[in-house]
Amino acid sequence: MAKVIIVGGGIAGLSAGIYALKAGYEAEIYEKNPIAGGECMGWSRKGYHIDNCIHWLTGTDPKTGLWETWKTVGAIDENTEYAETSKFYSSRAEGREVTLWNDLDRTEKELIEESPEDAEEIKKFIQHVRYAEDCVIPSIKPMDMMGIRDYIEMGKGMANMPKVMKEYGKINCFELGKRFKSPVIRKMMSDYLPGEYTAYSLIVSYATMTSGNGKIPMMGSLAMSLRIAERFKEMGGVLHTASPVSEIVIKGKKTEGIKLEDGSFVPADYVISAVDTGFLFGKLIDGKYMPKELAKAYEKREAYPVTTGFQVAYAIDADFSGEDTIFFDCEPVKIGTRTFGRISVKNYAYDKSFAPEGKAVLQANLIQTDADYEYWASLTKEEYAVKKAELSEQITQRIVKEFPELEGKIELLDSWSPLTYNRYCNAYHGSYMGFVTTVGNKQMRFKGTVKGVDNLYIAGQWVMSPGGLPIALVSGKFAVQRILKKAGKSILI
C-alpha cells in the first residue's frame, strides 16, 4: 500500500490523514507539538479553560457539503451540542449600544429604531447579508477539478453572491461605516474586522451566523481537534506527536520522504505539507519552489496583510451577564504599532465546561498585523515579559472602567502575542488566518501542488484566503484528491 506522510497535525493535516486513509493509503502524521490541533487550540490555567479558536465554525448546517466533511473527520455530527449564542457582537459608543443579532429581522428593527435616518442603508445591509447566506465553500472537490455541471450546481445556490460583491466588494469596512450617520453604527461596521478589510468579508461572516451555518460546538476548540485526531487513529492512521520535521527531502523531481529533527529519515510515496507555507518554503524545502501567486502575496505586505493578535484572558468571579462579544471606547492604548481607542471583550460563559460554577472566562483580542509582529519580535526576552504584563494591566483597567461591576472580581489568567503563534505553530508573522483580501487586490489562492516536484502537495489555511478552519479542512481533502487524480483513480472520497 502506498504511504502518505503528512507534515503538521493541525486541522489541515488531520483532514489530509483521514482522507488519505479513506482513499486506501497508509497515512502517518508528524506533528512538532505534544498534541495535535495546531491553531485550533485551548489550554488550562488555574482551573479555567482558555478556548483560543472557534468563534464560529462554518459548516454546522447539515444541509451543506461542508457539514458532511466535518462529520467525516469526526468534528461534529447529528448529536453535536452548540452554544446558545444569539448575537454576532454588540458595539457601544456615546452611551448607545447596537447589536448584530443572529435574527436579522431583530437587527433591522433595532438599527432602524436607533437611527431612522439610516433606514435605507440599514435595509440594504440586511438584504445583502440575506443574499450572502447562500455563500458556499466548495467541499466536494477542488474548483480546478470541477466540471461545467459542478459550476452550474454551485452557481444555482449562490445566485445572489455577485450582488454582494458588487455592492460591498469594492469598499472596506471603514468606508462601509461612513455610509451610516449614526456614530455607533458607523463604529460597529469596523469593530469586528479591521477597517482595511473588505466590507464583503464582514457581510459574509455575519451571514454565516444568521444562516445557522456558523455555530460553536460545545467543549471548545481543543476538544474538537482531539476528536478529529482520535478519528484518524481509529481509522488506522499513525500520529507522531513531539516529532518536528526538519526537511522534506527532494531528489530530482520527487520527494523521497522527510527528515526529522532527530536526524532520522522516513521514506514516503507522497508527502503532504500541512504546515504554514511561510515555514515550508525556505525551511523545509528550497524557497525557489514557492508558487508565483503565493510569492506575490508574501512580497506585498500592504496589499495582503495577515491577522494575528495580542490577547488577554481573565477569570471572572461573578455571573457576568454581558453575553458574547462587546466593543467599547476606551482611553487609547498602544499595542505593537497600533493605538486602540476601542477594545472588546468576549464572554465565554456560554460553555460551562470552561470555568468553575458561577464563574466565567473573559478574553480581549487586540488585532495585530505584520508590523506589530516585527515590533514584538524586536523585544528582548525581558522586555517582552514586561510589555505583556504592562499591557495586560492597562487592558484590565479599561475593562473595569467599562464594566465597574467587575471591580475586584477579575483576575488575569494569561496573555499572549503574535510571537506565541509563531513559537507554537511556526506561523508566519504569528498569523492565525490566511492572507487578508484588501480592496483592489485579487483573493489569494493557489492549487496546492509544487511545480517541479511530482509527489509533494500542500494543504492548510494559506491555500485560499481568508483561511480559517473550513479552508484548512477542505484543503486536506483536496490534497488527497490531487494524489488520486495523478494516480489515475477516482477522486470521489
Ligand X SMILES: Cc1cc2nc3c(=O)[nH]c(=O)nc-3n(C[C@H](O)[C@H](O)[C@H](O)COP(=O)(O)OP(=O)(O)OC[C@H]3O[C@@H](n4cnc5c(N)ncnc54)[C@H](O)[C@@H]3O)c2cc1C
H/E segment holding residue 210: helix 199-210
C-alpha cell at 320: 457576568
Q: 270 or 432, CB closer to ligand X?
A: 432
Rounded distance between C-alpha atoms, residue 115 and residue 100, angstroms: 14
Q: Hey, what amino acid is at 259?
A: K
- Work out the angle at residue 237's Cα, subtended by the Cα atoms of residues 217 and 488, and round it to the nearest 5 degrees: 105
210 binds ligand X (CB under 6 A): no
Binding piece for ligand X, criterion CB under 6 A, among 17-25, 264-272, 370-378, 469-477: 469-477
Q: 10 or 322, CB closer to ligand X?
A: 10
Mark 429-448 with x for binding to ligand X (rule: CB under 6 A) and - for no binding: ---xx---------------
Region 242-261 residues binding ligand X, contact defined as CB under 6 A: 244-245
Least gap, CB of 312 to ligand X (angstroms): 12
Mark 43-82 with x for binding to ligand X (rule: CB under 6 A) and - for no binding: ---------xxxxx-x------------------------
Least gap, CB of 266 to ligand X (angstroms): 12
Distances (CA, A) of 63 to 157, 211, 396, 478: 12, 11, 42, 21
Q: 8 or 336, CB closer to ligand X?
A: 8
C-alpha cell at 172: 472596506
- Torsion of the alpha carbons at 195, 469, 467 and 145, rounded to the nearest 10: -140
Q: 142 or 460, CB closer to ligand X?
A: 460
Region 269-328 residues binding ligand X, contact defined as CB under 6 A: 274-276, 279
Binding piece for ligand X, criterion CB under 6 A, among 18-26, 148-156, 334-342, 421-429: 421-429
> Which residues fall within 8 angstroms of residue 92, CB to CB, at 6 or more apart?
184, 326, 327, 328, 329, 402
Q: At what angle do helices 199-210 and 161-168 cross, to 10 degrees?
A: 140
Residue recorded with cell 502537495: 457
Least gap, CB of 179 to ligand X (angstroms): 26
Q: What is the DSSP annotation of 33-96?
A: SSSSBTTS-EEEETTEEEE-S-S-EET-STTSHHHHHHHHTTS--TT--B----EEEEEEETTE
Rounded distance between C-alpha atoms, residue 64 and residue 49, angstroms: 31
Least gap, CB of 216 to ligand X (angstroms): 8
Least gap, CB of 214 to ligand X (angstroms): 8
Q: 115 or 311, CB closer to ligand X?
A: 311
Rounded distance between C-alpha atoms, residue 50 and residue 42, angstroms: 5
Binding piece for ligand X, criterion CB under 6 A, among 118-126, 178-186, 204-212, 463-471: 463-471
Nearest by Cα to 53 from 428, 323, 433: 433
The two most distant CA atoms of the chain are separated, in Å, by: 68
Least gap, CB of 467 to ligand X (angstroms): 5
Peptide bond into 356 cis (omega under 30): no
* Residue 464 per-residue DSSP state: B
Nearest by Cα to 116 from 105, 128, 108: 108
Q: 17 or 38, CB closer to ligand X?
A: 38
Least gap, CB of 123 to ligand X (angstroms): 28
Q: What are phi and psi of 77, to 5 degrees?
A: -155, -165
Region 4-43 residues binding ligand X, contact defined as CB under 6 A: 7-13, 30-33, 38-40
Least gap, CB of 293 to ligand X (angstroms): 17
Least gap, CB of 337 to ligand X (angstroms): 20
Q: 306 or 425, CB closer to ligand X?
A: 425
Least gap, CB of 480 to ligand X (angstroms): 14
Q: 28 or 276, CB closer to ligand X?
A: 276
- Identify the residue among 164, 425, 480, 491 touching ligand X (CB under 6 A): 425
DSSP-derived pairing of the beta strands 325-335 and 338-347: antiparallel
Site residues (vs ligand X, CB under 6 A): 7-13, 30-33, 38-40, 52-56, 58, 244-245, 274-276, 279, 425-427, 432-433, 460-461, 467-470, 472
